[in-house]
């Protein structure tokens, strides 16, 4: 292999990011301090003013959001299977039953009609995923959730910075979760957030990320123990994102618009390069959607996805497949889920291939990907 390996995703770290982290390291706070509050405020500026609760990962954000929703045994969550397993496993860890509903065949997002058909009297949350950064049909899904008296959760791990019908991601659902993993649209190394316009849900999220500790004397059962006293009224976990990583997040947020422009430009180049190519289908953009493209999900037809995957990997191009339908994982199979449950999702998976897409991808890198894909098809 004469050229360096090209990953499908990679963080972009600049001098300002390094300086922001170094400033915290020289200060008094490494864990929960002023950088956390600043990062949460900076996030709210991206979500139309919707308040944010920073946590340690996108998975933690989902676990916290389901806790804030009061999810427990006997409850059901209607969810998309075209996602990373955490969207469903975080609900299952609260004891809830996950009811998978099929996706739209073109976007890979949760189909509102399928979601409605999956509702029962036990549905507590409808969990949509903004697949690849394209917002889900959030207005229709809001109607679906409301019809069951359920909360709408938007798993926006891919889509911070995007919008749906003029409204920013994070301002549309009852609960929205973000991920700031290294390959995401901005990074805190590991990290995530829960955002909500509901003060009740925010209070529950803040409590769960901090062991459920109650420090407010007015709310304590035994407030006369002393100034040191704290109580746990409901179980939680330590999901606090530290100052040092929040400082990185605030710095990254200042570059989010730049990241979005670059991702969109690469996405457009791929679209144009493959428009005439038999054997593939390029991603769609629905009217009203302003995606923050996290993935470029090329659809490879005629059963040739694996061959193209192996071809590109052999050339040092780190393509990926996103995702195996969640209920195909043995942990869900062992709970009784069977293949064939969501035909659109399974077909989407069988064709999907993520091409490299990240802000620091150079024009020559993009040329290399395009040439390699086209050469596979003899074009």
Return left, alpha or beta for 188; rule: phi > 0 is left, psi -120 to 50 is alpha, else beta: alpha
The two tokens of residue 327 are: 């209920």
Cβ atoms of 132 and 295 within 8 Å: the answer is yes
Residue 279: DSSP 8-state? T
Cβ atoms of 88 and 59 within 8 Å: the answer is no
pLDDT tens-digit map of 172-202? 999 999 999 999 999 999 999 999 999 999 9
Please tell me the predicted confidence (pLDDT) of residue 171.
98
Cβ atoms of 131 and 325 within 8 Å: the answer is no
Q: Point out the residues of the chain with pLDDT beneath 70.
A: 1
Compute CA distances 342 → 22, 45, 137, whole Å.
48, 37, 18
DSSP strand E in the chain: where?
A: 52-55, 76-79, 97-100, 123-129, 151-155, 163-164, 167-168, 175-179, 192-195, 213-214, 231-232, 280-281, 289-290, 296-300, 352-355
Tell me how far apart the alpha carbons of residues 73 and 129 are, in angstroms, rounded to a whole number: 23
Please tell me the predicted confidence (pLDDT) of residue 348.
98
Catalytic residue of the set 124, 184, 260, 272: 184
Q: Is 97 a catalytic residue?
A: no
User: How far does Cα 132 stand from its chain's mean position?
Assistant: 9
Please tell me the predicted confidence (pLDDT) of residue 352.
98
The CB density around residue 125, as the number of other CB atoms within 10 Å, is 26
Query: Residue 280: which of 344, 353, 357 has the closest Cα?
Result: 353
Task: Give yes or no for a cis peptide into 145 (omega within 30° of 0).
Answer: no
Tell me how far apart the alpha carbons of residues 224 and 220 are, in angstroms, rounded to a whole number: 9
Please tell me the predicted confidence (pLDDT) of residue 12.
97
Please tell me the predicted confidence (pLDDT) of residue 2.
72
Query: Residue 333: which of 123, 118, 155, 98 has the closest Cα?
Result: 98
Please tell me the predicted confidence (pLDDT) of residue 326.
98
| Length of the chain, in residues | 379
Q: Sheet holding 352-355: strands in order across?
A: 280-281, 296-300, 352-355
Compute CA distances 376 → 190, 229, 372, whole Å.
36, 66, 6
Task: Dihedral sign for Cα 24, 175, 110, 79, please.
Answer: positive
Compute CA distances 257 → 113, 168, 185, whole Å.
33, 13, 10
Q: Which residues, 6 or more positions from 226, have their beta carbon under 8 angstroms from its beta carbon?
A: none
The two tokens of residue 48 are: 């139309």
């Amino acid at each position: 292999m004469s050229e360096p390996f090209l990953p499908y995703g990679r963080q972009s770290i600049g001098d300002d990011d390094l300086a922001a982290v170094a400033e915290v390291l020289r200060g008094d706070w490494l864990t929960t301090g002023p950088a956390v509050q600043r990062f949460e405020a900076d996030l709210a500026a991206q979500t139309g003013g919707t308040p944010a609760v920073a946590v340690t990962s996108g998975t933690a954000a989902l676990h916290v959001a389901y806790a804030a929703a009061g999810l427990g045994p006997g409850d059901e969550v209607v969810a998309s299977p075209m996602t990373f397993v955490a969207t469903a496993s975080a609900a299952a860890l609260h004891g809830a039953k996950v009811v998978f509903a099929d996706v739209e065949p073109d976007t890979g997002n949760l189909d509102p009609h399928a979601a409605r058909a999956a509702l029962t009297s036990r549905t507590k949350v409808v969990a949509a995923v903004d697949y690849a950064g394209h917002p889900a049909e959030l207005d229709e899904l809001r109607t679906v959730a409301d019809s069951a008296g359920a909360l709408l959760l938007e798993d926006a791990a891919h889509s911070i910075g995007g919008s749906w019908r003029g409204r920013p991601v994070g301002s549309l659902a009852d609960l929205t979760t973000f991920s700031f993993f290294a390959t995401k649209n901005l990074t805190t190394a590991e990290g995530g957030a829960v955002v909500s316009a509901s003060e009740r849900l925010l209070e529950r999220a803040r409590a769960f990320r901090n062991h459920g500790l109650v420090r407010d004397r007015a709310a304590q059962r035994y407030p006369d123990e002393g100034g040191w006293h704290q109580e746990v009224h409901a179980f939680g976990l330590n999901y606090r994102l530290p100052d040092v990583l929040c400082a990185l997040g605030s710095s990254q947020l200042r570059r989010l618009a730049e990241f979005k422009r670059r991702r969109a430009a690469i996405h457009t180049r791929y679209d144009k390069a493959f428009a005439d190519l038999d054997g593939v289908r390029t991603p769609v953009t629905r009217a009203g959607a302003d995606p923050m493209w996290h993935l470029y999900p090329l659809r490879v037809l005629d059963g040739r996805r694996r061959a193209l995957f192996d071809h590109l990997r052999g050339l040092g191009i780190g393509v990926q497949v996103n995702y195996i339908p969640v209920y195909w994982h043995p942990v869900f199979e062992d709970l009784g889920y069977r293949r064939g449950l969501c035909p659109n999702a399974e077909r989407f998976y069988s064709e999907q291939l993520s091409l490299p897409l990240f802000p620091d991808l150079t024009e020559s890198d993009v040329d290399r990907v395009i040439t390699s894909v086209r050469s596979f098809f003899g074009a």
